[in-house]
Amino acid sequence: MTPRQSPSAVKPRWVAEGDRYRLLQPAERSLRQQVASSLRDAILTGTLKPGERLVEEDISQGMRTSRGPLREALRQLEQEGLVMSFPYRGSFVSRISTLEVRQVLIPMRATLEGFGFDQALDNLTEDDVTEMRGIIERMEEAVRSGDLIGLVEDDVAFHGLVMSRSGQPHTTQIWGSIAPRMRAYFYTHLREAMPTQEQLVGVAKAHRDLFDALVARDHKRVATLLLEHVQDLPGFPVTDPAP
């Protein structure tokens, strides 16, 4: 029996994965979201640098699409704070200051997650717990191998998963526009960030504790751990370089 053909050659709903086929998630389904995702990665990893101009035709051609989906992706990244646009003048990769991270993003994240985690607590399924456990284990592995980028990604994935289970659409959506900015900040400062191994272990430990409290459905302990942990950015600059 030959494997079933993909229903569409151009934009498959299914993608080969070993000897099985996996259904593409809605998030990956539209070109616009793929484009947004690629662009986001390019900005976060520094392929596109702060201040750099984004020429629509160049980028859309590079991604083998037309400008329509790209422009919609740009509107989305604009709201995620990764891009700034000016009418008839173009779009540019934006910067983010340590001051705003400390004074605004971290407190907002604390508020959002404080509420979101509490709401999510009673919605978590067995599958969610399994997925969370997987992320925690990957995170611990990343710490062992000193993989800073992996650590950041697992961190975001863990918090994002819980937030998505909060059942609070605005909270989840706003969190989704804060997280990329924090990621961008982390990535651009990875070079100067020099966390000790001890600090990294501490981060993983904090998540393991948080995970345990979540599984135990211990609202109060979750809130306590969260507040302790969201505040600090081990190894990252906490004051602006330029005064």
Partner DNA sequence: GTACTGACGACTGTCAACAATCGACACTTT
Partner DNA sequence: AAAGTGTCGATTGTTGACAGTCGTCAGTAC
Positive or negative torsion for Cα 231, 213, 152, 85: negative
Amino acid at 216: A
Q: Which does 13 bind (CB under 5 to 8 A by kind): DNA, a copy of itself, none?
A: DNA
Does residue 56 touch a copy of itself according to CB under 8 A?
Answer: no
Are the C-beta atoms of 166 and 121 separated by less than 8 Å? no
Contact with a copy of itself (CB under 8 A): which of 6, 168, 188, 199? 168
With binding defined as CB under 8 A, does residue 103 bind a copy of itself? yes
Q: How far apart are the first and last CA of the chain?
A: 68
Q: 219 CB contacts (<8 Å, ≥6 apart)?
A: 118, 121
Of 196, 221, 220, 197, whose CA–CA distance to 209 is shortest?
A: 221
Cα separation, 114 vs 123, in Å, equals 15
| Residues of this chain, 14-53, that bind a copy of itself according to CB under 8 A | 26, 29-30, 33
**Position among 36, 82, 91, 109 found at the interface with DNA (CB under 7 A):** 91
Least gap, CB of 25 to DNA (angstroms) = 11
- Of the candidate residues 178, 206, 230, 233, the single one contacting a copy of itself (CB under 8 A): 178
DSSP 65: S
d(CA 157, CA 180): 12
Question: Any contact of residue 10 with a copy of itself (CB under 8 A)?
Answer: no
Judged by CB, which is closer to DNA: 14, or 115? 14
Q: Does 156 bind a copy of itself (CB under 8 A)?
A: no
CB of 76 to DNA, least distance (A): 12
- Shortest Cβ 126–DNA spacing (Å): 24
Residue 7 binds what, of DNA, a copy of itself, none (CB under 5 to 8 Å, by partner type)? Answer: DNA
- CA-based R_g, the chain, Å: 20
Query: Considering the complex, what minimum distance in angstroms separates the CB of residue 204 from a copy of itself?
Result: 28
